[in-house]
């Protein structure tokens, strides 16, 4: 960004919209993957980007805060072997918003950018990090480990209005129809369109009722970290038919069933029940390998 050229590559297949990757995505993935591998030789890491750019500064430290939760950690998690861990990395979530922020010189959009690192064990998320580099002056890191609470943010426990967040850049007819159905049943008093899976889940943690994406296109690296954090806060994240999303290493990377995330203070099942069956039928779960 400082250099003024994001070096954007469009990853979208011809005729299927716009899916930008910037030099920041490539460098951040290199940094995260190499830093993790340096410390943990045998974990399986799956990142969004196929192409990376070497970045000389790796991270060798760790947050002492994590050690403070040690006494809360279950024996099951304590005994995990490196080879049983799958880390899903989204080096930069909200890339479209970064591109737009620079293009339109609208730096407020950068708030929607996050870095997502999710840790899965036995196919389900057990820990997650949502780093928001452009929050307030110095950014913030929101993280959770199963059984050890949510850190870096105090999750909202209620709200008088049900605000639903959805995609800004990947709207489709099925996304709109699902939102209309929710409005009809008073499950969406208003709808906000914002970028990034990470940012939308932060919004849910901070008082929005739900994140609704009744469309395919979102990937496992978009949801693994955020599901870990949201469930530690008492919320739920499933596909739009209410099925758990799986995170085994050989699972299909697309969340073909869409995404529905709800805050702790709303009934997840009511949102699931309200989304029309026809939309659900068009978004089947595909469990086949990659
Ligand atoms: N149709 C689609 N094609 C490609 N990526 C999609 C997509 N729909 C959603 N996504 C991905 O899901 C994330 C959240 O999307 P959205 O902001 O539209 O809700 C983004 O992650 P990235 O920014 O990490 O690529 C975005 O690329
Ligand atoms: Mg992307
Ligand atoms: Mg993403
Ligand atoms: Mg990304």
* Residue 72's pLDDT band (cuts 50, 70, 90): very high
The model carries a pTM of 0.97
* 48 annotated binding-site participant: yes
Return the CATH class of domain 9-151: alpha beta
165 beta partners: 192, 211
Ligand 1 and 217: CB distance under 6 A = yes
Give me the architecture of the 163-281 domain, per CATH: 3-Layer(aba) Sandwich (3.40)
Tell me if residue 95 is catalytic.
yes
d(CA 190, CA 179): 10
d(CA 79, CA 86): 15
Q: Span 74-86, mean pLDDT?
A: 97
ipTM for the assembly:
0.97
User: Measured in angstroms, how far is the CA atom of residue 136 from the centroid of ligand 4?
Assistant: 21
Ligand 1 and 132: CB distance under 6 A = no
Query: What is the DSSP code (8-state) at residue 186?
Result: T
Closest atom, ligand 1, to C-alpha of 25: 24
* 202 annotated binding-site participant: no
Tell me if residue 25 is catalytic.
yes
Closest atom, ligand 1, to C-alpha of 19: 4
Q: Span 118-146, mean pLDDT?
A: 98
* 65 annotated binding-site participant: no
In whole angstroms, how large is the CA radius of gyration of the chain? 18
Distances (CA, A) of 43 to 86, 90, 131, 268: 6, 16, 21, 33
d(CA 249, CA 160): 40
- pLDDT at position 4 is 86
* Residue 15's pLDDT band (cuts 50, 70, 90): confident
From the candidates 22, 25, 166, 223, give the one annotated as an active-site residue. 25
**Which residues of the chain form CATH 3.40.190.80?**
163-281
d(CA 21, CA 195): 15
Of the listed ligands, the closest to the CA of 29 is: 4
Of the listed ligands, the closest to the CA of 169 is: 1
Distances (CA, A) of 264 to 156, 174, 230: 8, 25, 8
In tens, the pLDDT along 32-45 reads 999 999 999 999 99
Ligand 1 and 95: CB distance under 6 A = yes
In tens, the pLDDT along 189-206 reads 999 999 999 999 999 999
**Which residues of the chain form CATH 3.30.540.10?**
9-151
End-to-end CA distance of the chain: 34
* 49 annotated binding-site participant: no
């Amino acid at each position: 960004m400082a250099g003024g050229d994001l070096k954007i590559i469009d990853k979208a297949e011809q005729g299927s919209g716009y899916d930008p990757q910037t030099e920041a995505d490539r460098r951040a993935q290199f940094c995260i993957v190499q830093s993790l591998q340096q410390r943990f030789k045998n974990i399986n890491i799956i990142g969004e980007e196929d192409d990376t750019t070497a970045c000389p500064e790796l991270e060798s430290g760790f947050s002492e805060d994590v050690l403070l939760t040690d006494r809360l950690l279950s024996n099951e998690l304590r005994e995990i072997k490196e080879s049983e861990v799958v880390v899903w990395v989204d080096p930069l979530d909200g890339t479209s918003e970064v591109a737009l922020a620079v293009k339109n010189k609208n730096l407020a959009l950068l708030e929607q950018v996050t870095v997502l690192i999710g840790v899965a064990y036995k196919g389900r998320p057990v820990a997650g990090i949502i780093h928001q580099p452009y929050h307030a002056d110095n950014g913030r890191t929101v993280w959770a480990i199963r059984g050890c609470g949510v850190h870096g943010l105090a999750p909202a426990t209620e709200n008088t209005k049900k605000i639903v967040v959805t995609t800004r850049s990947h709207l489709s007819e099925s996304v709109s129809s699902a939102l209309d159905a929710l409005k009809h049943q008073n499950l969406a008093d208003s709808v906000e369109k914002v970028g990034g899976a990470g940012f939308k889940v932060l919004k849910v943690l901070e008082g929005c009722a739900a994140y609704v994406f009744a469309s395919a296109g979102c990937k496992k690296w978009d949801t693994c970290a955020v599901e870990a954090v949201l469930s530690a806060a008492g919320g739920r994240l499933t596909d739009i038919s209410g099925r758990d999303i799986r995170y085994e290493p050989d699972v299909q990377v697309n969340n073909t069933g869409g995404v529905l995330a709800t805050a702790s203070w709303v009934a997840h099942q009511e949102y699931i029940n309200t989304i029309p069956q026809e939309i659900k039928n068009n978004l089947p779960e595909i469990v086949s390998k990659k």
